[in-house]
Amino acid sequence: MRFIDRLLKFAPWIEGNIDLFPYSRSEWERMFASRHPLLLEALDHGIILWDRGAFARMRATFQEWKARGEVERLPSGWRIREPAG
């Protein structure tokens, strides 16, 4: 299903100030591998509503990246460095 179709499918259930990003698992995995800034935002500030453990594992790895200085929050985005080694 296309991303726009997923948005339309879930939109009727959304009320209030909620940003909906219905990405598929494969899309999240690609975003994680490339350290996509939108995913970094979700890992840093996102509120998990439901998870089978994959997001929690990504968040733990993200915290390791931050501790090693591989990703760093800036006032207007992220500094993303290549992993050492």
Q: What is the pLDDT of residues 61-72, one digit of tens each?
A: 999 999 999 999
- Look up the pTM and report it: 0.79
Alpha-carbon torsion angle 14, 17, 22, 25, nearest 10: -120
Round the CA-based radius of gyration of the chain to a whole number and report it.
Answer: 14
Considering only CA atoms, which of 73, 77, 28, 19 is closest in space to residue 46? 19
What is the per-residue pLDDT for 68? 95
